Amino acid sequence: MNKLKELLADLEPAIADIINQPGSPRAVYEPISYILSLGGKRIRPAMVLAAYKLYKEDYTPEVMQVAQAVEMFHNFTLLHDDIMDNSPLRRGQETVHIKWDDATAILSGDLLQIEVYEKLAEVGNVEILKLFNAMGRELCEGQMNDMQFEQMDVVSNADYLDMIRQKTAVLLGFSLQAGALLGGASAQEGKQLYDLGISIGLSFQLMDDYLDSFGDTAKVGKRIGGDILEKKKTYLWNEMWSRLDATAHQEIEAVYTKPEVEIIDFVKTKMDESGAKDYTLELAQKYTSKSLTALNSFDTPSGDKTYLEEIVKMLAGRES
Amino acid sequence: MNKLKELLADLEPAIADIINQPGSPRAVYEPISYILSLGGKRIRPAMVLAAYKLYKEDYTPEVMQVAQAVEMFHNFTLLHDDIMDNSPLRRGQETVHIKWDDATAILSGDLLQIEVYEKLAEVGNVEILKLFNAMGRELCEGQMNDMQFEQMDVVSNADYLDMIRQKTAVLLGFSLQAGALLGGASAQEGKQLYDLGISIGLSFQLMDDYLDSFGDTAKVGKRIGGDILEKKKTYLWNEMWSRLDATAHQEIEAVYTKPEVEIIDFVKTKMDESGAKDYTLELAQKYTSKSLTALNSFDTPSGDKTYLEEIVKMLAGRES
């Protein structure tokens, strides 16, 4: 993890800079500072720098501004998603709409979004602005698909994969693409790195779904089985559902009247027996392999691949 | 009104273009199309064109894109403000968060905001992007100030004017400045037109406050006295309050237990007797005169001032 640690150390002043929100009235700036200071892995700005390192060593102001912009945009989406999803907690702390109120969370989010574009205006690269906008549009579409899927009984895994591509992967794709372009990548290389970001995002999200049911509480850092109790339409759930017959569907529905421990055990058994468990893990690993193969064959005569390589492995190998 | 009609006719295809929202999933695009199709005066895009006409006659694609961007941004603010202010109606129709729900209104607004920046990226002028961002930041600050003022007993008129400058005037200022810059204005001329937009915005908002209490229902197009019944901290109210003593304040508080007609009559009498009525109207007219004087002395050898002149007079003279 030495390479990632190095990137995070490089990012520290830039992150401190965006947490510092001196504007007035305080009521609209404090929530921005609050959500940005809750932490998180800072994986998106690290990916911007890692992609830049494929080409050059010494950062320009522009690459740091893009790193700030993606972290701010990610937090903007969290701020508004938490209202839409009615989530009370974020990283163990109260969400903005709970700590303050809905109106404050909406408005602080809107202002944070404008601050993202202030960073992009400082970068002053219209091509990167256009790529960012295309990404932002897809992310909004993905959030709407996600909300609609929660109201549906059955979601196909093709639709689900497309949704997580939009909701999670495109921002990782943009982070790599923009970092690379600022390092001097060609348009074609930029596109290859975007695709690499998509693979990383898909494997990350599939692994997330997998670990929520089959992870180790100590390693994952949260209670196991939350998705199952919510009947969340994850890849794992959809795959299980599509592999089972009507009788099994009824058995699953019936178990939801029982204690939580029994529900979780029963559904995990069905996920395992149906083959959905192994299939999901294999798919996540397939995307990780795809990412590493693409990175291996990527030609960077002047740069250093080890930063990005470490990030791919870290995101894939959170638990096995 | 021939000049304004001409601008509105010029705008028609550009407005039809932004109302047309063919994206998917429909659930996030339909509310955008809906709010943009509710109409309104389209005064902001008309101001972009009117400022451009100070310099050049034939529009470029860029000036139309900025005209679209300001109309979209205005509707984005309406969409989110209606959630924050809990407003059920907009232009006589259900607001988005009522017709759909809060989550849809938040997300559609976020997407509309991204579409604004797509238009600005098409324009491809980083200077205009920076001016837009500075305007957007102030507008968010103004909305927060507005919400906070509603919780306060007393608001100074200096603070109130600053709030309406942020919440209403800066977008008019940007519209003129950006239209002019795209027509070939110097930075200094752009700034002068921004200031002109601020004057127009202040006179417009003061007149709006005035007419809500002292207008003619038939001409204003809405019921008179709504602000009074809500005890809204308008310029008119604040000015009255600051001119009255504690006894009069108590009389006003006491009247709010009586029927609505009596409340409105009583408060209007106090606004009149205290001098607040005349003072507010005079201040609105002062800003209008300031706008017209600035426009008269503005040097535009190659352009046509009559478009902007007509807009200033129309906004000021909605009723006398």
Instruction: Give me the phi and psi of B259, to 5 degrees please.
Output: -60, 155
Report CB contact under 8 Å: B102, A121: no
pLDDT value of residue A154: 85
pLDDT band at A301 (very low <50, low <70, confident <90, very high): confident
Residues of A in contact with B114 (CB under 8 A): 133, 136-137, 140
Indicate yes or no: CB of B107 within 8 angstroms of CB of A84: yes
Query: Any residues with CB less than 8 A from the CB of A236 and at least 6 apart, and which?
Result: A209, A210, A213, A227, A271, A276, A277, A280
Chain B, nearest residue to A136 by Cα: B114
Instruction: State the pLDDT at residue A224.
Output: 86
In percent, the amount of chain B with pLDDT more than 90 equals 86
Distance CA(B125)–CA(B182), nearest Å, equals 9
Please give the Cα distance from B281 to B210 (Å, whole number): 7
* Integer Cα distance of B19 and B12 in angstroms: 11
Helix (H, G, I), strand (E, B) or coil at A56: coil
Q: How far is B172 from chain A (nearest CA, A)?
A: 18
Cβ neighbours of residue B75 closer than 8 Å, sequence gap 6 or more: B32, B35, B36, B112
Residue B318: pLDDT band (50, 70, 90) is low
CB nearest B84 (choices: A107, A111, A148): A107
Share of chain B above pLDDT 70, in %: 98
Interval A250-292: pLDDT, tens: 999 999 999 999 999 999 999 999 999 999 999 999 999 999 9
Q: Which helix (H) or strand (E) holds B93?
A: strand B93-94
**Chain A neighbors of B147, CB-CB under 8 A:** 103, 107
Q: Is A137 on the interface with B (CB under 8 A)?
A: yes
Contact A25 B136 (CB under 8 A): no
Taking the C-alpha atoms of residue A104 and residue A89, their distance in angstroms, rounded to an integer, is: 16
Q: What is the pLDDT of residues B105-140, one digit of tens each?
A: 999 999 999 999 999 999 999 999 999 999 999 999
Does residue B229 sit at the A interface (CB-CB below 8 Å)?
no
Percent of chain A with pLDDT over 70: 98
**Peptide bond preceding A301: is omega within 30 degrees of 0, i.e. cis?**
no
**Spatial distance between the Cα atoms of B138 and B170, rounded to a whole number of angstroms:** 8
Q: What is the mean pLDDT of chain A?
A: 94
pLDDT band at B183 (very low <50, low <70, confident <90, very high): very high
Residues of B in contact with A130 (CB under 8 A): 118, 121
Q: What residues contact residue A273 under an 8 Å CB cut-off, 6+ apart?
A: none
Instruction: Return the pLDDT at B223.
Output: 77
Q: Which residue of B has its CA nearest to A159?
A: B25
What lies within 8 Å, CB to CB, of A244 at 6+ separation is: A252, A270, A274
Q: A80 CA to chain B: closest CA distance, Å?
A: 7
pLDDT in tens, A221-230: 677 898 999 8
Query: pLDDT tens digits, residue range A27-64?
Result: 999 999 999 999 889 999 999 999 999 999 999 999 99
CA A235 to chain CA centroid, Å, is: 16
Euclidean distance between CA atoms B307 and A320, whole angstroms: 69
Considering only alpha carbons, which residue of chain B is nearest residue A80?
Answer: B106
Q: What is the pLDDT of residue A318?
A: 59
Q: Tell me which chain A residue has its CA closest to the CA of residue B144.
A: A28
User: Which residue from B24, B118, B140 is facing A110, i.e. has the nearest CB?
Assistant: B140
B30: contact with A, CB 8 A cutoff:
no
Task: For residue A24, count CB atoms less than 10 angstroms from its CB and return exposed for 0-12, middle for 13-18, buried for 19 or more.
Answer: exposed
Instruction: Name the CATH superfamily, with its identifier, for domain A2-311.
Output: Farnesyl Diphosphate Synthase (1.10.600.10)
Number of H helices, E strands in chain A: 17, 2
**Residue of A21, A24, A28 for testing the chain B interface, max B β-carbons within 10 Å:** A28
Cα A36 to Cα A108: distance, rounded to the nearest angstrom: 12
Nearest to B118 among A23, A25, A133 (CB): A133
Separation CA B306–CA B291 (nearest Å) = 13
Which residue would you say has higher pLDDT here, B318 or A278? A278
Mean pLDDT, rounded, of chain B: 94
Q: Which long-range CB contacts under 8 A does B14-21 form with residues at least 24 apart?
A: B14/B45, B14/B64, B14/B67, B14/B68, B15/B42, B15/B45, B15/B68, B15/B71, B17/B68, B18/B68, B18/B71, B18/B72, B18/B115
Contact B28 A129 (CB under 8 A): no
Query: Quick one: pLDDT at residue A240?
Result: 96
Position B217 pLDDT exceeds 80:
no
Interchain proximity A28–B144, CB inside 8 Å: yes
Decide: A220 and A318 in contact? Cβ < 8 Å: yes
The H-assigned helical ranges of chain B are 2-19, 26-37, 43-53, 61-84, 96-99, 102-123, 126-149, 157-164, 170-183, 187-214, 217-220, 226-229, 235-243, 246-255, 260-273, 276-296, 306-316
Any B CB within 8 A of A303 CB: no
Question: What is the mean pLDDT of the segment spanning B299-306?
Answer: 89
Superfamily grouping for domain B2-200+300-316: Farnesyl Diphosphate Synthase (1.10.600.10)
Quickly state the pLDDT bin for B320 (edges 50, 70, 90): very low
Please state the domain extents for chain B: 2-200+300-316
The verdict on A27 touching B (C-beta cutoff 8 Å) is yes
Q: Nearest CB to B84: which of A103, A113, A129? A: A103
Confidence at residue B92, expressed as pLDDT on a 0 to 100 scale: 87
Is B117 within 8 Å of chain A by CB?
Answer: yes
Strand locations in chain A, DSSP E?
A: 89-90, 93-94
pLDDT band at B63 (very low <50, low <70, confident <90, very high): very high
Q: Would you state the structure tokens that stand for residue A93, as one six-digit string?
A: 């702390």
Residue A153's φ and ψ, nearest 5 degrees, are -80, -40
Confidence at B84, pLDDT banded by 50, 70, 90: very high
Query: What's the confidence (pLDDT) of residue A319?
Result: 42
3-class SS at B94? strand
pLDDT tens-place string over residues A172-192: 999 999 999 999 999 999 999
Q: In one letter, which amino acid is B115?
A: E
CA distance A138 to B119: 16
> What pLDDT sits at residue B1?
66
pLDDT-derived band of residue B150, with 50, 70 and 90 as boundaries? confident
pTM: 0.95
pLDDT on residue A320: 36
CB A267 within 8 A of CB A299: no
